[in-house]
Structure 1
Amino acid sequence: MSSSTFPTATILGYPRIGRNRELKRALESFWAGRTTAPQLLASTDVLRRQTFERLSELGLNSSIGAIPDSSTLYDHVLDATVLLGAIPQRFSGDAVELYFALARGTQDAPPLEMTKWFDTNYHYLVPEIGPDTPIGYADTSVVNRWASASDWGWVTRPVLVGPVTYVALAKAAEGAPEGWSPLSRIDDVVAAYQDLLIHLAGAGVPWVQFDEPALVTDNLATPRSELIAVAEEAWKKLVAAPARPEILVTLPYGDGRAALPAIVRSGVEAVQLDLVRGELPDPGSVDLSSTTLVAGVVDGRNVWRTDLARAERVLRAAQDLAPASLAVATTNSLQHVPHDTALETWEDPELDANLHSWLAFADQKVGEVVTLARGLEQGWDAIAREVAEATLVLDKRKQAAGVVLPEVRDRVGALDDAARTRVPFSEREPLQTAALGLPSLPTTTIGSFPQTASIRKARADLVAGRINHAEYTERIREEVRHVIALQEDLGLDVLVHGEPERNDMVQYFAEQLDGFAATRNGWVQSYGSRCTRPSIQWGDVARSIPLSVEWTTFAQSLTDKPVKGMLTGPVTILAWSFPRIDIPLSESADQIALALREEIAELEEAGTAVIQVDEPALRELLPLDATKHAAYLDWSVSSFRAATSGVRPETQIHTHLCYSEFGQILDAIDALDADVTSIEAARSRMELIPELAVHGFGRAVGPGVWDIHSPRVPSTDELIELISLAENTVPTNRLWINPDCGLKTRDYPETLATLENLVAAATAVRNRIAAASTR
């Protein structure tokens, strides 16, 4: 084991996609066949060097492991799967081919399931572990990356998924015995990590970081207390490795106090706590006399400037608890925030000035860590000026125009139970059935259609002033005409306008709502090469113009079939933006709900008979602490109902949920009181649907039968099989047939091929049901 002092200033990870989305472009070029695997890997090396150089410029020490290497080609959990050789039997190929087959699937092998990383909008690839899954030290990439960084002149800190978190996030592989848990393979994972530690030590690595967020959450299948007990034994074994680097174990995303004593007792050299979402332990509750405490006082989840005065108070208290060694860090990896506020300008001069003073993206957060570390090392008077400046900015923000709108606060205060309640579904259902006249197993899509290069060019041309608004509108109308005609030709039953005018399902609305600001370059990785630009909620939210009525009514004028109005729900708008932190999320959600309620009323008045309000982030925002579940579910459901409960009984309200473990919140999904709920189900092969049946879910369901996050085209027979699985538990008069999610990221050839198969599958099952009923 090496012996080195932990750096006083560090971060847990850095944005991985690149300042100018270099990784996205490199990946998509490789997938398109324009570049080779060696060229892809070379381009990622360039990106890594740029990252290390930037972090050095920002003040992180380049020679003692202060700079984390958190890079990945696609996903850090997938990297752990490859490192451990835990590859399901259906996959094969050379290193790069195999890696992307796991991530994206092949025509013959569906990819690994994808779901949300704790309570973030990042999607990880779920390991599949069974009793016979091979597990061992199978990939040297971590060691090779460290060696290459060393050759370039940087002593970095490798970042890995912790062993307990890895098995806790895994699902039982197909064919595993009923009730079998991947946690039973923890010893094999630990043994593989022991081998890795030996190889890292041999390469000269001084520090290695293992992230163990599974130890701060109650939202996994295994109780937190059990995971903590397993972790203590696992880490004692890893600490006992005959040769190893020094180890930092992180406890990000939540309150790590419950896990802290066990991790300290294991003997690791350093442990990190999230001290924004969690707190310091009580004095005397844990012995930190020989452990470095890494204090996560700079929020890695949001973009607001750090209250340095508060951070200083926390660090002063931490000094008393950790007399041996204290370091300053972020609460978690900065992968969840954009790179740099210097890349942004906002059109309104006052808002531009305000946001630049209020915000801190990744680079600014590194600067805040460095500043606080200087106070720790040199005495707090050394940073008194910076602390005072931050306090002044925060005080001025409270008085800025638009931050508080009294009329909005009054309307939210006037919301009562009646405003959040519809007539019972038993009364609504026959009215909707008569009004819509749909066949059994009605087919639809979730909302978006492929965003073509010509559509993206039209949007760019409008922003650049190369075309005027009238020309842009006509280009979008032409795409809507195309999408409506395409759906009619395919034989879909409930149509959508395809959303060609929308850059993103949240940003589009945020750009039109008062109280939000959209970034130009604030890209954040969602999964793989997929990036989003979360909007920033800086003030009270109000609707001053229609949001979607024009496009929905135009699309409806082109067809006699019903066209869904498409809106994003209040919880998802908050979850996929950077929300303000000076008022409760529940209050912001109700402000957004009232804006959506106005929009829904206009859609209904314009003749829209089906309105979908998507809430894919409902499970995502579930607090990691079980004691906070009830309060969150109460306000999140209430905000959805405030948005949707003003419609007539015959208006059909849909909602959509995807890529999270929804089994925990079935009561809340039920309480949304949507007439139709579409939900991701293809990758998990209808795993959730029996749970809905056991729950007694009594309204219509559209379980996804097409995994749109993979480029493969499922056959008609495969889709029939999935529909039949759903049919076993959902009454056919309440079963809808649809993809898992919107089609924005797919291309038209695979979209047309799969939708043809989807309609054919629904027709075949309808015919089978009709034939059976006549016997």
Structure 2
Amino acid sequence: MNIIGFPRIGEKRELKKALESFWTKKMSENELLCVAKELRTLHWSYQKKCPFVVVNDFSLYDNMLDLSYALGAIPARFRNLKGLELYFAMARGNGENVACEMTKWFNTNYHFVVPELSKHDCYTVNAEKIINEYNEAKSLGYAPKISLIGLFTYIGLSKTSDNSSKKDIFPHLKKVYLELIKTLSTLEKGTIIEFHEPIFVKGENEFFPYIKEVYNEICTFGVKAIVTTYFEASNEATKILVETNIEGLGLDFLYGENNLTSLQLIANAGKKLYAGLIDGRNIWVANLDSKLSILDKISLIVPKDLIHIGTSCSLLHVPFSKDSEIKMDKEILSWLSFAKEKVRELELLESLFRNGIVDSNKEAYEFNKTINDGRKQSQKIHDTKVRERIANLVITERKESFQARIKTQRKELGYPDLATTTIGSFPQTPELRALRQKYKKGEIDTDTYENGIKEYITECIRFQEEIGLDVLVHGEPERNDMVEYFGEQMKGFVFSQNGWVQSYGSRCVKPPIIYGDTSRPESMTLKWSSFAQSLSKKIVKGMLTGPVTILNWSFVRDDLARKEVCKQLSLCIADEISDLQNGGIRIIQVDEAAFKEGYPLREENIKEYETWALECFKISSSVAKPQTQIHTHMCYSEFNDIIKTIEAMDADVISIETARSGNELLKIFKQVGYANEVGPGVYDIHSPRIPSVDEIYKQIKLLLEVLPKEQLWINPDCGLKTRKWEEVKPSLKNMIEAVKKIRSEG
């Protein structure tokens, strides 16, 4: 059995709470490290039936950041710092120093800290964290397996901070990486290291010629090397890896079915196969008959004694356990499997594969079969009206061109060049969370709750008017999460109480679960948007989450194609846009923060996704009148490869996260002649630091080197819900002052 990684945030988000206490100086470094050690000990206990437990999958922030720290790949601006101060400064920024860039881990909702590499780097190995955790596991009587980001994935996901190329840096990075492996090889004879190389599933790149050389050199240190890929198939890399001296390969047979075509190569080479069959990305109970069918195919080619069954990827991407889910519908809950349950599924699948259906596993096997059969037949997942509406759906889009619409909008909305706004949310204060919690528990009545929400919205509107923002937002105090809030008001969704998943650092999300056909019984946002608009003569944006993002940030049913689920969601959002504009809301933002992360990793699969994702966004916005301005927002993304799709989305305004990357991400918009309006983020909201007027002024100047002022909106990188008011207020005031300064220059 092979677990690739385990959730590290804790069943009750213990790590999140400890980190935030440490950052606010309410907890000492020693206390933080004690919490981390307790979590590791607990998580290893769940893996005790595995031949080895995973070491170094745990992180105080991010595994890519851990590796940067271990290799001494430290940006120059942080080199005067040490220890955890250095570590967290790279992740969160400090003083005048901006944090390292963050972006999505392949096509998941997990963010990693992007390594910044330079030809001037002086790499130095620091293996203390890995060694300590390895020895911890040994002291508890476990056989450890080190989890480590592979060299090729590390450099492939990095960026250079000067004019050097990655190829220039590669020899130096390779040298220090091998030094790290040599250090780890001394832990004991035959140290097991699982190298995570998901970059290989994207196909060949400039570093492919070095794969054989690097992994053979790694093996000279006497380590037992497993090279693991996941999220899709990696046949090109497999052809090379079977010719190296590594012990085995880990392949994903759920999201990379084409890996089956590489089995003969693996068998011929006599390599161990770590077959990813228990889903590390979704939460449905495994269909063990289906898994055994795949194993039958595999074992026809690869000898059974060389096959090790495992998770498809790290369990980092699923919640910890469903043990504490006491409020969910019991039937739906029976269909779910979180990390702890997946470990038990793995144990059962292993037993069935090795021994067949015997007395010791018969009851568990039959229970699994009953659950899967019951789910297929359940009336809870089918809605005839929704299916009929989809069957009669004609894919539509806005009739008027952008050029025609923008003239109407500029005239009717009357906003200036370099119009200022925010992305939507304002700080979710402890008082606000407490208010929602009391209402949820029935401790306060509806009037008390709604009066509290109205007070918050009123304060938000007054503050925005006071500092001079051009287009306002209501602050979203009624929303717990940008997807969960909408899912709670739609049919076909269910929610966990404690299904938290780490997004980055201490930031956790609780993804909705789409179990059946979806529909929107009544308006979801009009009430609060109308109230906010009644408080100001300025325009207040309506705020919606787009269908593709709702899909990509949910755990999605696996009995219906994702594109069909997304079409159902798009009709819900179209209905909401119609209600808002008919209710007097003139600008509506349809956030597609997760549009890019849904992209398949292999180029040959991209077109199909783009086609239906684009169609779904257009279905949603097609009901907008010419004078209704549609905004959208996208989170950390490289836009070069999807710029044509962004154009085709035809949103009137797109806001994007760019603050950590200067104006680099914006340049592609100029290169393709993008005509619609753009709001590049001018400061990073993922850091607690407050940007100065001068800093934002310089950032806007950089933007103006790329696009004209008539085309630009000025806003923060993303929503402000995770920040504190004492950070938000001065930051936004400085943003407004910077815009005023630039406007005064003509």
Q: TM-score, normalised by structure 2?
A: 0.97
Instruction: Letter of the 2:219 partner, please give it.
Output: V
Shift of 1:671: 0.8
Match of 1:36 among 28, 36, 43: 28
Instruction: Letter of the 2:102 partner, please give it.
Output: M
| Secondary structure, aligned partner of 2:276 | strand
Q: Output the CA distance in 2 between the equivalents of 1:54 and 1:393.
A: 23
Query: Is residue 167–residue 183 contact of structure 1 (8 Å, CA) maintained in 2?
Result: no
Match of 1:246 among 224, 246, 264: 224
Query: Is residue 510–residue 535 contact of structure 1 (8 Å, CA) maintained in 2?
Result: yes
Are 2:13 and 1:25 aligned? no
Equivalent residue pairs, number: 740
Shift of 1:321: 2.6
Are 2:57 and 1:70 aligned? yes
Look up the match of 2:155: 167
Look up the match of 1:215: 200
Shift of 1:469: 1.8
Instruction: Letter of the 1:78 partner, please give it.
Output: L
1:393-450 CA distance string (max 9 Å, x none): 2232122223121211221222224x32331011111110111111211100000000
Shift of 1:208: 1.4
Instruction: Letter of the 1:87 partner, please give it.
Output: I
Q: Output the CA distance in 1 between the equivalents of 2:140 and 2:263.
A: 43
Shift of 1:384: 5.4
Instruction: Letter of the 2:250 partner, please give it.
Output: Q
Look up the match of 1:327: 308
Q: Which moved more, 1:327-336 or 1:245-254?
A: 245-254
Shift of 1:189: 3.2
Shift of 1:685: 0.7
RMSD of the TM alignment (CA)? 1.6
Are 2:91 and 1:114 aligned? no
Query: Is residue 288–residue 321 contact of structure 1 (8 Å, CA) maintained in 2?
Result: no
Shift of 1:482: 0.5
Give 1:185-196 correspondences, 5 Å limit: 185-196=169-180
Q: Output the CA distance in 1 between the equivalents of 2:452 and 2:290.
A: 51
Look up the match of 1:4: none
Shift of 1:387: 4.1
Look up the match of 1:318: 298
Are 2:8 and 1:16 aligned? yes
User: For residues 403 and 673 of structure 1, do their structure 2 counterparts lie closer, same or farther at Cα, with a shift above 3 Å needed?
Assistant: same
Look up the match of 2:582: 605
Shift of 1:345: 2.7
Look up the match of 1:292: 272
Look up the match of 2:376: 398
Percent identity over the alignment?
39
Query: Is residue 44–residue 53 contact of structure 2 (8 Å, CA) maintained in 1?
Result: no
Shift of 1:722: 1.1
User: For residues 321 and 569 of structure 1, do their structure 2 counterparts lie closer, same or farther at Cα, with a shift above 3 Å needed?
Assistant: same
Give 1:207-606 correspondences, 5 Å limit: 207-217=192-202, 224-241=204-221, 244-279=222-257, 280-282=260-262, 284-323=264-303, 324-346=305-327, 352-379=329-356, 383=361, 385-417=363-395, 419-606=396-583
Q: Output the CA distance in 2 between the equivalents of 1:122 and 1:554.
A: 35
Q: Output the CA distance in 1 between the equivalents of 2:420 and 2:446.
A: 34
Q: Output the CA distance in 1 between the equivalents of 2:536 and 2:530.
A: 10
Q: Output the CA distance in 1 between the equivalents of 2:129 and 2:168.
A: 26
Q: Output the CA distance in 2 between the equivalents of 1:568 and 1:675.
A: 16
| Secondary structure, aligned partner of 1:674 | coil
Q: Output the CA distance in 2 between the equivalents of 1:146 and 1:139.
A: 11
Query: Is residue 162–residue 210 contact of structure 1 (8 Å, CA) maintained in 2?
Result: yes
User: For residues 88 and 250 of structure 1, do their structure 2 counterparts lie closer, same or farther at Cα, with a shift above 3 Å needed?
Assistant: same
Query: Is residue 257–residue 278 contact of structure 1 (8 Å, CA) maintained in 2?
Result: no
| Secondary structure, aligned partner of 1:522 | coil
1:477-503 CA distance string (max 9 Å, x none): 110000000000010000000000100
Are 2:602 and 1:618 aligned? no
1:488-543 CA distance string (max 9 Å, x none): 00100000000001000001101111001111100000000000000100000100
Instruction: Letter of the 2:376 partner, please give it.
Output: K
| Secondary structure, aligned partner of 2:154 | helix
Are 2:655 and 1:678 aligned? yes
1:284-330 CA distance string (max 9 Å, x none): 34445521100001110000111111110111222233225110100
Shift of 1:200: 2.4
| Secondary structure, aligned partner of 1:295 | strand
Query: Is residue 230–residue 256 contact of structure 2 (8 Å, CA) maintained in 1?
Result: no
Q: Output the CA distance in 2 between the equivalents of 1:38 and 1:584.
A: 48
| Secondary structure, aligned partner of 1:150 | helix
User: For residues 239 and 591 of structure 1, do their structure 2 counterparts lie closer, same or farther at Cα, with a shift above 3 Å needed?
Assistant: same
Query: Is residue 53–residue 142 contact of structure 2 (8 Å, CA) maintained in 1?
Result: no
| Secondary structure, aligned partner of 1:688 | helix
Query: Is residue 85–residue 139 contact of structure 1 (8 Å, CA) maintained in 2?
Result: no
Look up the match of 1:6: none
| Secondary structure, aligned partner of 2:598 | coil
| Secondary structure, aligned partner of 2:486 | helix
Look up the match of 2:707: 730
Q: Output the CA distance in 2 between the equivalents of 1:53 and 1:113.
A: 35
Q: Output the CA distance in 1 between the equivalents of 2:727 and 2:333.
A: 43
Query: Is residue 242–residue 269 contact of structure 2 (8 Å, CA) maintained in 1?
Result: no
1:614-669 CA distance string (max 9 Å, x none): 00111111101111111111111110110011111001000000112222100111
| Secondary structure, aligned partner of 2:584 | coil
Shift of 1:154: 2.2
Q: TM-score, normalised by structure 1?
A: 0.93
Instruction: Letter of the 2:58 partner, please give it.
Output: S
Look up the match of 1:81: 68
Give 1:129-144 correspondences, 5 Å limit: 129-144=117-132
Q: Output the CA distance in 2 between the equivalents of 1:158 and 1:113.
A: 26
Query: Is residue 420–residue 641 contact of structure 1 (8 Å, CA) maintained in 2?
Result: yes
Q: Output the CA distance in 2 between the equivalents of 1:27 and 1:286.
A: 43
| Secondary structure, aligned partner of 1:44 | helix
Q: Output the CA distance in 2 between the equivalents of 1:69 and 1:86.
A: 18
Shift of 1:270: 1.6
Instruction: Letter of the 1:158 partner, please give it.
Output: I
Instruction: Letter of the 2:439 partner, please give it.
Output: L
Q: Output the CA distance in 1 between the equivalents of 2:129 and 2:114.
A: 20
Query: Is residue 164–residue 186 contact of structure 1 (8 Å, CA) maintained in 2?
Result: no
Shift of 1:385: 5.0
| Secondary structure, aligned partner of 1:143 | helix
Shift of 1:188: 3.1
Match of 1:99 among 72, 87, 91: 87
Shift of 1:468: 1.4
Instruction: Letter of the 2:158 partner, please give it.
Output: A
Q: Output the CA distance in 2 between the equivalents of 1:160 and 1:282.
A: 24
Look up the match of 1:642: 619
Q: Output the CA distance in 2 between the equivalents of 1:274 and 1:282.
A: 12
Query: Is residue 238–residue 262 contact of structure 2 (8 Å, CA) maintained in 1?
Result: no
Q: Output the CA distance in 1 between the equivalents of 2:743 and 2:388.
A: 51
Shift of 1:380: 5.2
